[in-house]
Every structure is written in C-alpha cells, then in structure tokens.
Structure 1
Amino acid sequence: MEQSGTSSLLQGAVQDLASGVVSALRSGDHTRAAAPERTHPEAEDLALAAVRVLGADALLPSTLLHTPPLPDELAVFRKAVEAYPPGADAAPTVRWSHWAMRNALRRLDPDHADAPHQEPDAAWLESATWQLLTHQLAVLAALAVPGEDCTVTRAARQRPVDVARGFVRAVRRRDWRQAAGAGRWLTLLEGVPQTLGLDNGLDFVELMGGQDPLVALHVSAARLTRTGAFV
C-alpha cells in the first residue's frame, strides 16, 4: 500500500513538472518551469525523482527557447543526475536518458560541465522492427531536439518512413504518449512522407491526449521545432 502511494505521488509530481514545462514552452517564459518546491526532505526526494523521470525535458524550455535555466532549476537538475545514476543492469533506454541529462548539463552549464561521457550502446536499434523502433524512440523523445547528434538520432534519421508508420499505428491504438513522442521525432527527420499529414496528426493527438501533460509536452516541443520558433 505504501509503495502504491509513493508511486502515485511520483506520478503526480512528474505530471506537475511536465505541466510547468508545457506552460514555459507555450508562453516563452522559462521562469514558469522553475524547479518544484522542496519544503522538506521527502518533498525534495520526490522532486529529484520527478526530474529524473522527465529527464532532459525538465530543461527543455532552456534548450528550445535559448534562455538560461534558473540557478535553482539547474541545481535540482544536476542533483537528480547525480542521485540516480543507471545501475549495472539498467535498460538501454535508462542509460540513454541519463546520458541525455548529462548532455543537457554540458550544453546549458558549460562552466561546470563534466567531461563528455561515452554514448551507451545503441546496437539494439539497428535490427529493431519499425514497431519497436517507434516505441523506443518515443521513450527517448527527450533526445529529439534540434542540433542533437548521437547514435539514437542517427538511427531515427535513417528510418523516417518506419517512424511515420509507427506514428500512425500509435494513433490508431490511441497510444497518445507514443504518438506524441513519435511525432516529435518526425519534425526533425527528412524524408517523412507528405501523405502523413503530420501537422494535422499532431493537432489530433493534442486534441485526444492533450490533457496528459506528457503528451502536451511532446506536442508543444514538436510544434516549436516544426515552426523553427527555437531559432
């Protein structure tokens, strides 16, 4: 029962944090994505865990809008990176998520950046079916930002049609989070079929799943990337 309650609290904290990121992306005001309040140790632990779950997207407004993160926001983000390193048996997506967070720190706080970390293995993407590829890319949607160049982004660039197929499949299955994550990737890829109608597709995903802050986050990021508003 206690574990279930903790899980529920964490889900709520992640959604609150994602909502703050969405507000910042839509308004262009990075201060609205400030770090969660930490009034006692338990709340601080929950805040750190929420940042780790959201990953590099916790700093997405600074990444896309080119605004420096607030000192408190950056401090919480760095502490989350240090507090939750991937374990020896961590899944590849967990390792890549952690790598993306460290990469965000190097990009946004170069004066206190760690040395570059070696990319995790991404060999599993090379032989992935289009269904699995889309699922994994949606999980790693925080890597779908302009200018990012790593093994995962290169794998996505090589298979735009497969990602488009995955986007359509996710919409048909009403998996709005996966659809939003795949749509976010598609805004960065060349060779996406024009017949996909990505703009209308993103509108539909937002309409159907936009009450979920994580869906809204990916759709907002996709739109900023699509319009070039981050430049």
Structure 2
Amino acid sequence: MEQSGTAALLQGAVQDLSSDVASALRGGGHAPVTGGPEDGITVAAVRVLGADLLLPHLLARTSPPPDTLEAFRLTVKTFPPRADAAPTVVWSHWAMRRTLRRFEQNDGLTPAAGEGAEPDAAWLDGATWQYLTHQLAVLAPLAVPGADSAVARAARGRPVDVARGFVRAVRRRDWQQAAGAGRWLTLLDGVPDTLGLDSGLDFVELMGGSDPRVALQVAAARAMRRSGALV
C-alpha cells in the first residue's frame, strides 16, 4: 500500500511539473521547483522530466529561479545511470548534465565547455523505423534547436521514417509517442509536406492533451517552431 501511495504521489508530481513546463512554453507562468534531499518525490519527478524542466528558459534565454536550478542539480547528482542502464537512461542523464553545464557556465545561451564525450548511440544503427520512433519519443528532451548529438544526427538522417512513426503512433492512439515524434519532426529537414505536421499536432493535442506530458511535448514543438532560435 505504501509503495502504491508513493507511486501515486510521484505520478501527481510529474503531472504538475509537466503542466508548469507546458504553461511556460505557451507563455504562461513557470512556478519554481523546490525540493531538498529530504524531498525524494520532487527529485524523482524532475528526473522523469529530465532536461525538459529547463526547456522554457533555454528557448527564452532566461535564467531559471535558483530553487529550480538547485532541484535540477540535485537530481543530476542523485540519479546517475547504473552500469547496466538502458541507452535511453544514459542519454537522458547526459542531456541533463549538458543542460546543467550550460546554465552554470553560460546562462544557457551557448554550449558549455567540457560537456564530455557523448554516450554510445550504436543501438540506433539500423533500427527499424518503428523502434527508432519509439526511442526518439523517449528521448524527446534531446530535440532542441541547435543542440547536436548522435541521437539528433540519427533523427536527421531518417526524417521520412520518423514521419512514418508519427503517423503510426497517431493511428495506435499512442499520444505520448506521437507528441514526442512530432517534436523531433519540427527540427528535421526533409519531412514530407503531405504529413501535415501542424494539423497532426493539433489532433494529438485534442486527443491526448489532457495528459500533461503530451501537452508538454506539443507545447515544446510549437515553441521551437515559433522561436527558431539556436540554443
């Protein structure tokens, strides 16, 4: 029962943070995130969102509130990937470290010095378009204008496959995957005009937007299209 209650608290915290980030990406307020070592739920929720917690500040080129940055820093320190962690976990942590360095060293405006070597991305080599889309959706926080990585290069090399994956996710009513894939597609050249990405994102938001994590990804895609900024 206690474990179930903790899971419910974590789910609620993730939804609240996702709603805050989505609101900020739409131009609304972005409430500071507070939490210390004793607040395991907040730290775990920040870990689920990953680098997206600071995305509104990255796109707007603003400094996050100190409490938010400290919660982010604490999460990076508290949740290093294990030696046997899945590639998506390793990459998510790497994205958080890269984002943290940008704000600590350069106010988030330019890539930070000493970002460190990228994790291995060989698991994406030769991936089917279905699997590629699934993995990209999980790693949607890496889809940021101007932020290069091996994962981003894999996506740029297969825009038609990502578009196919987006359509498949919509047909399967997998709104989180569709929203994550749609976010990547906003950054890719060579996406077929017949896809109708803007209308597709509207549909994903209509059908799945009650899920704050779907709303976050759709808001991110639109904010990146509006900004066109290199971060």
Task: Return the offset for 1:85.
Answer: 0.3
> What is the correspondence of 1:191-210 to structure 2 with a 5 Å cutoff?
191-210=190-209
Aligned residue for 1:27, secondary structure, equals: coil
Report the residue type matching 1:110 in the other structure. Q
RMSD across aligned C-alpha pairs, in angstroms? 1.8
Task: Return the offset for 1:161.
Answer: 0.2
Aligned to 2:83: 88
Per-residue CA deviations over 1:158-205 (Å, capped at 9, x if unaligned) read: 000000000000000000000000000000000000000000000000
Task: Return the offset for 1:149.
Answer: 0.4
Residues 20 and 34, structure 1, Cα contact 8 Å, conserved in 2: no
Aligned to 1:65: 60
Aligned to 2:155: 156
Report the residue type matching 1:27 in the other structure. G
Structure 1 residues 40, 83: CA separation in 2 closer, same or farther (over 3 Å shift)? closer
> What is the correspondence of 1:132-151 to structure 2 with a 5 Å cutoff?
132-151=131-150
Work out the percentage of aligned pairs sharing the same amino acid.
68
Moved more, 102-111 or 160-169: 102-111
5+ long unaligned stretches in structure 2: none
Report the residue type matching 1:13 in the other structure. A
TM-score normalised by L of structure 2: 0.93
Report the residue type matching 1:178 in the other structure. Q
Structure 1 residues 81, 224: CA separation in 2 closer, same or farther (over 3 Å shift)? same
Residues 145 and 228, structure 2, Cα contact 8 Å, conserved in 1: no
Q: Do residues 26 (structure 1) and 26 (structure 2) align?
A: yes
Task: Return the offset for 1:40.
Answer: 9.0
Residues 21 and 61, structure 1, Cα contact 8 Å, conserved in 2: yes
Task: Return the offset for 1:28.
Answer: 5.1
Runs of 4+, deviation exceeding 6 Å: 111-114
TM-score normalised by L of structure 1: 0.93
Structure 1 residues 5, 111: CA separation in 2 closer, same or farther (over 3 Å shift)? same
Partners of 1:186 and 1:100 lie apart in 2 by 19
Aligned to 1:12: 12
Task: Return the offset for 1:229.
Answer: 5.9
Partners of 1:106 and 1:28 lie apart in 2 by 26
Aligned to 1:97: 92
Partners of 1:148 and 1:219 lie apart in 2 by 19
5+ long unaligned stretches in structure 1: none
Aligned to 1:78: 73
Task: Return the offset for 1:108.
Answer: 1.6
> Which structure has greater helix proportion?
1
Residues 14 and 54, structure 1, Cα contact 8 Å, conserved in 2: yes
Aligned to 2:33: 35
Partners of 1:75 and 1:24 lie apart in 2 by 19
Task: Return the offset for 1:117.
Answer: 2.4
Partners of 2:77 and 2:54 lie apart in 1 by 16
Structure ranking higher on relative contact order (CA contacts 8 Å, 6+ apart): 2
Per-residue CA deviations over 1:64-83 (Å, capped at 9, x if unaligned) read: 11111111110110000000
Partners of 2:57 and 2:101 lie apart in 1 by 13
Q: How many residues align?
A: 226
